[in-house]
Amino acid sequence: MSTATTEYDAPRAHRHDDGAGDRAERRLFDGDTGRFELPLRQALVRLLRGPYLDGAADPRLWQLVLDRRADIGAYVAEIFLVLSIDADRKIAMLVPVDVEAPHTTAIAPRKPLKREETLLALRLRLLLDRHAGTGTDPVISRAGAREILEEHARPGAVDDKRLEELTDASLARLAALKLVLPTELEDEYRVSGALALALPFDTVEEIPAYLAALERAAGDPVLGLADADADTTEEEL
């Protein structure tokens, strides 16, 4: 039987021990004063890069986050972030907190979603809730996304060409945030469980009123979510 360690297998002597000898042994670079073992540091980097960690895709890392939840929470609290975990969907992400003091804005870049991106995200959040407990993943096709945006389009505001552009742009932005994920079928996306944590609602019953308010708005950006590089792969999260 192989005894090789993996990326997430910390040496036993390094776990939860703050002795000077152990700290020196796990020093990774000159001047390293960190007290966490390498796998936990790697998990922190993954969470800080965002936009979220998918426990179904990486169960070993997910278990590490659960086991060291207190350590991670204490660490990120120093930079005005909280660790949010959805145990049912196996999603973990860092969420900025609002503090009324200078220099407390979270260091993760935050770019608001545009009106159409927000509308699509909200409707997909409702779809996600309807699939809860069914054992199936909600999916959205490009044609379905176009229908949603057409339904919410202001009369006379967009023509067919513009609607096509808005559909592609909205799907691309949500895909960059990994709120929708590509499937083996062209122009079909799986709705990520991360939407349940990414959208600021305690219950889905709040969403219809928010949609109605958005319909009355002038179309300014309304919803901030941590941005992500569209070229980032799952391995790079």
In this predicted model, what pLDDT tens digit does every residue of 33-47 receive, in sequence order? 888 999 999 999 988
H or E segment to which residue 152 belongs? helix 142-152
Under the banding of pLDDT at 50, 70 and 90, the label for residue 147 is very high
Asked if residue 121 has pLDDT above 80, the reply is: yes
pTM of this prediction? 0.62
Give the CB-side neighbour count of residue 227, counting CA atoms within 13 A. 11
Q: What is the mean pLDDT of the chain?
A: 78
Neighbours of 5 (CB within 10 A): 10
Q: Which domains does the chain have, with CATH numbers?
A: 12-96 (no CATH), 110-236 (1.10.10)
Residue 68 burial by Cβ neighbours in a 10 Å radius (0-12, 13-18, 19+): buried
Q: Which of 58-62, 77-81, 164-168, 215-219 has the lowest mean pLDDT?
A: 215-219
Q: Report the range out of 119-123, 224-228, 233-237 with the highest average pLDDT.
A: 119-123
For residues 44 and 75, give the distance between their C-alpha atoms in angstroms, rounded to a whole number: 9
Beta carbons of 113 and 222 less than 8 angstroms apart = yes
Mean pLDDT for the stretch of residues 120-124: 90
pLDDT for 236:
33
H or E segment to which residue 196 belongs? helix 195-198
